[in-house]
């Protein structure tokens, strides 16, 4: 009877031990799966945010073109002002020299800073697009960045957005 009691206790102990082990093992697997799922969710949320940011930055192209025109006009004004003050302005510009002080010309730095900030945003968003998405998006970004990205064709912009949409759930 003692042997049977010891055997029963040993079986109960082994059952409890294996039950604890199996519970721990499955709980660990469950935790790992939840962790991976949570990471995928975060990447997916970031990708959605990047698509929205990419569309917003594409819509700023007209603003950049306008700012560039303003910057060029300001530069032309400063050049004219210098020519008038040194007396090297042509005869056709001599009338303009009389009215030269009616305009400031102090917008150059402000406009240049705005353009720089928009360029920095564009560059940052494109870099993040390349990090968070796959090879098709990276290729589309590289194609877009050849030349002046603000003047890129609608086809290149659409190709980037399509690549991002196609790689949205690729991990």
171 in a structural domain: no
74 in a structural domain: yes
Average pLDDT, the chain: 88
CA torsion angle 32 33 36 40 (round to 10): -170
120 in a structural domain: yes
| Cα angle 10-12-14, degrees, rounded to a multiple of 5 | 70
Residue 20, domain extent: 2-166
140 in a structural domain: yes
d(Cα 152, Cα 133) in Å, to the nearest integer?
21
Q: For 51-55, 56-60, 81-85, which range has the lowest pLDDT when averaged over its residues? A: 81-85
b/e 104-120 (16+ beta carbons within 10 angstroms → b): ebebbeebeebbeebee
Number of domains in the chain: 1
Q: List the structure tokens of 157.
A: 């912009």
pLDDT in tens, 14-54: 777 777 877 888 788 889 999 999 999 999 999 999 999 99
């Amino acid at each position: 009877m003692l042997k049977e009691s010891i055997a029963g206790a040993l079986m109960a102990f082994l059952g409890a031990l294996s039950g604890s082990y199996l519970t721990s093992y499955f709980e660990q697997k469950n935790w790992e799966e939840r962790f991976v799922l949570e990471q995928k969710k975060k990447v997916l949320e970031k990708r959605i945010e990047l698509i929205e940011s990419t569309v917003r930055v594409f819509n700023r192209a007209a603003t950049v073109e306008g700012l560039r025109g303003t910057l060029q006009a300001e530069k032309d004004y400063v050049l004219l002002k210098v020519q008038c003050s040194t007396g090297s302005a042509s005869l056709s510009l001599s009338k303009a020299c009389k009215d030269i002080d009616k305009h400031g010309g102090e917008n150059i730095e402000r406009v240049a800073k705005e353009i720089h900030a928009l360029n920095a945003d564009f560059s940052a968003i494109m870099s993040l697009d390349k990090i968070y998405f796959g090879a098709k998006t990276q290729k589309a970004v590289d194609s877009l960045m050849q030349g002046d990205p603000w003047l890129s064709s609608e086809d290149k912009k659409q190709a980037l957005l399509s690549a991002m949409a196609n790689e949205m759930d690729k991990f």
